[in-house]
Chains A and B, each alone.
Chain A
Amino acid sequence: MLQLAWSFLYWYLRPLIKWFLRRTTKLCELQRICYGVPSGAQRTLEVEFSLENSRCAEIKRLISDLNQASESNKLDANGRSIIHYAVYTVCRVKCIDLHIHSQFTKSFGACVQQIWGYRQLLQEVENLRKTSYDSTNPNHEEKLLLLWSLLKPDEQLEARISKQWQEIGFQGDDPTTDFRGMGLLGLENLIFFAREYPKAARHVLSHSRHPNYGFVYAIVGINITSMAYYLLRNGTAKTHVYNACNGIPSLKLFHIMYSYLFFEFDKFWINEKPKNVMQFSIVREKYEKGLKDSLADPKTILRLNFHVDEI
């Protein structure tokens, strides 16, 4: 309640505070952030907040232009010119001298790149997710078979429809229906983890066959895709992404984040010593809560630390 009242008050007081600080420091809010706050998520999040809450019509237009560019995946091809456009617009509107404040233009440009790079990544991820797995598409089928050969290099898949799929944790004889709402994103995530970190992936797969703490590898993997997707979509993952990538984050960054989440979840699951697989939703919630808590600290970066015991 108190917090609500404060945010209400702040909303009205903010322009006044900004005006006062501008007079006394001779710097606009964006400059104060770029000069005063250490680079990384902390600075970028503050810049984002400042831009999103701007009441200036030109800044608002700039934001909607940038949103459009990131949604149509234009940030890679002519990313530079869009960043310049953002920097020049802000400097013009806020009467900032480009030569005196060259440090500002650099840091601010980097923030813009991160903020809208993130939104572009979200769009990319969303597109993949929306693509349903289609068993009549040879491209999709090839990917599915690739997943098998990555996880089970020594075992031949006897038929496309086979009980063997259950060994890597699909529900039935045909994985097609298991991707559901996560679509190709789920498959691409599973493939990336198995291809880039084969030891870690097989380590997790072997845990999934544990007599007491076993789980269903692919299904849990698809649930982790859902977790990673939501963290990205609701903005919780910003801390990590802004800290981990200086420029425009690529899909690879998302895949790496997924690999981290999957590997760490496996560790967490074993440590929890669940009674049986029915504990999954409870353990998953607990794991997600811990993640959210650590991502609330703007210094957090999720570091891959694949420690696999060699036998």
Chain B
Amino acid sequence: MGLLSILRKLRSSPDKELRLLLLGLDNAGKTTLLKKLASEDVTHITPTQGFNIKSVQSEGFKLNVWDIGGQRKIRPYWRNYFENTDVLIYVIDSADRKRMEETSVELMDLLMEVKLSGVPLLVYANKQDLLNAAPASEIATSLGLLTLKDRVWQIQACSATSGEGVKDGMEWVCKNVKTKKK
């Protein structure tokens, strides 16, 4: 181990670790988002079988981000990762209008889960770089977010491939955890 990495470790001992859970349908862009957060190359992504996890530093927090595969077959395993989640991040392919209904149903099921009750929700309306992407406001309506009373939530338009909007979403995450847990 080099001197530099020891110094780096000493300096950035984070105040708090957060556990973020990334969920959403397959091809929504969860892994791309995860890699973007970790400043990694996003051009070689493959469909996630199982899960990926990465730790990222952001605003004095150590974010442990769990990216779980979105394929229908593995959705039943999502619940194994609910425990101790600080923020739920739900990713949506804004251009995939055919599956807007399906993604909405999955999200509603998640919000009914006891282990996720009261957990702040960030929805990324991803793929805004695509021409036929639905705007964030339209997605918020079709997901029924406006009637959500039991938790704080936010919808953030973004493009995970270009990185636009991703940071704004993470800032919201860090702020809302701070206020909630003092």
Contact = CB atoms under 8 A, between A and B. Distances in A.
B71 interface: yes
Interface in A209-263: 215-216, 219-220, 222-223, 225-226, 229
B49 interface: yes
Contact of A171 (B2, B44, B47): B47
A226 B46 contact: yes
Contact of A280 (B2, B44, B45, B50): B50
Nearest to B70: A171
A277 B77 CA distance: 9
A109 B22 CA distance: 53
A278 B80 contact: yes
A180 B47 contact: yes
B43 interface: yes
B86 interface: no
Contacts of A79: none
B26 A222 contact: no
Contacts of A177: 26-27
For the residues of A in contact with B, the DSSP-based class is: helix
A186 B44 CA distance: 11
B47 A178 contact: yes
A172 B26 CA distance: 8
A171 B46 contact: no
Interface residues of B, number: 19
A279 B51 CA distance: 8
Nearest to A224: B46
Contacts, number: 66
Contacts of B43: 181
A180 B71 contact: no
A276 B68 CA distance: 14
A226 B48 CA distance: 12
B105 interface: no
B9 interface: no
Q: Which of B44, B45, B72, B74 has the most CB of A within 10 A?
A: B44
A219 B47 contact: yes
B71 A216 contact: yes
Contacts of B46: 180-182, 186, 219, 222-223, 225-226
Contacts of A276: 77
Contacts of B80: 278
A195 to B, nearest CB: 22
A91 B26 CA distance: 57
Q: Which of B2, B44, B47, B73 has the most CB of A within 10 A?
A: B47
A281 B34 CA distance: 15
B52 interface: yes
Interface string A182-208: 100010000000000000000000000
Contacts of A282: 50
Contacts of A281: 49-52
A88 B180 CA distance: 73
A282 B44 CA distance: 19
A161 B74 CA distance: 21
Contacts of B49: 215-216, 219-220, 223, 277, 280-281
Interface of B: 2, 26-27, 42-47, 49-52, 71-74, 77, 80
